[in-house]
A = this chain, B = another copy of it.
């Protein structure tokens, strides 16, 4: 049994522990931490189940399934937080996921990969296509903030209407991106999928995996409920603001599966896939998760718009620029990984020092 599997089993123990913490009232801080740890193996299994089912149903439907369930954990946490009225945390977790994927995930991949290999290369072709989609999507979700910052006396209604319009355009673009990557230009994306060694060689039992997917989804939801309910008390006990929690803590839990994949494959010198996961995940947050949350906010009657804290706008812009600057040459080494991690650290300090303002925390 590999180290990875042992770690998984240990993390699975946090499911009953978190339930015990909740019902025996061990305090919000313990519930928060154990629920966060319990989500990690569930998210990983959801990923595996999705891939196994994708093998059976074929590339097109499988790709669609991957694209939709790839961010399932984040979406579940965000929707539960949105229902609970933690709109600021949800918004912060969107920008935090983008920053985390571009700086923390890509940085850790390049750093750890770079310690093993002097120089790693990746096809810039896919990075380019994804990067352009990602750049557009990120810029689009930041425009309502930019409009609010540069105008005086803009009404909340206008910001919400504009956010909805942006959300609809982005979902259309997302659909077209899937069409592009799965139909018209699929050949560009054949960059070595997750290796067969990690997937069972026999034809997977689709009903078994569908059951796993369903069970994990329910458990993630359940644990997310506990995570969200305990969030405010727990983080204020730790002296953290809602902004810091949303931008730094929540995305680490929600994106843990992508983090693990990207770093693992980077250490096997498959930088194509590693960069693809980090950039692609950022792209999906901006093109799919954020628009869905705006529309969900309308449905739930929670005023979810895309009007972020102005410093989040700065942080995301900076992350995109640095990530573009480092990934555009199709090469990486440990120093480039360090630079991304340093940028993440500095932004982390910024959000930690950032004063609490109206409605945040």
Contacts and interface: CB of A to CB of B under 8 A. Distances in A.
Nearest to A355: B154
A132 B325 contact: yes
A346 to B, nearest CB: 5
Interface string A179-198: 01000110000000000000
A20 to B, nearest CB: 39
Interface residues of A, number: 64
A143 B350 contact: yes
Interface stretch (A28-36, A75-83, A159-167, A255-263): A159-167
Given A132-B325, A184-B334, A162 B349 contact: yes
Overall SS of chain A's interface: helix
A132 B94 CA distance: 26
Contacts of A169: 342, 345-346, 349
A168 B18 CA distance: 38
B185 A335 contact: yes
A329 B180 CA distance: 18
A109 B351 CA distance: 40
A350 B185 contact: no
A162 B129 CA distance: 36
B177 A318 contact: no
Interface stretch (A55-63, A144-152, A213-221, A272-280): A144-152
Interface in A96-133: 118, 124, 128-129, 131-133
B338 A176 contact: yes
A353 interface: yes
A48 interface: no
A335 B135 CA distance: 13
A332 to B, nearest CB: 10
A22 to B, nearest CB: 36
Task: Count this chain's copies in the assembly.
Answer: 3
Interface in A336-361: 336, 338-339, 342-343, 345-347, 349-350, 353-355, 357
Contacts of A132: 322, 325-326, 336, 339
A151 B355 contact: yes
B343 A139 contact: yes
Contacts of A118: 184-185
B349 A166 contact: yes
A335 B143 contact: no
A236 to B, nearest CB: 19
Contacts of A325: 131-132, 135, 324
Interface centre among A180, A314, A324 (most CB of B within 10 A): A314
A349 B309 CA distance: 21
Contacts of A335: 129, 133, 176-177, 180, 185
Given A143-B314, A151-B357, 6 more contacts: A150-B313, A155-B355, A161-B353, A176-B338, A180-B334, A180-B335
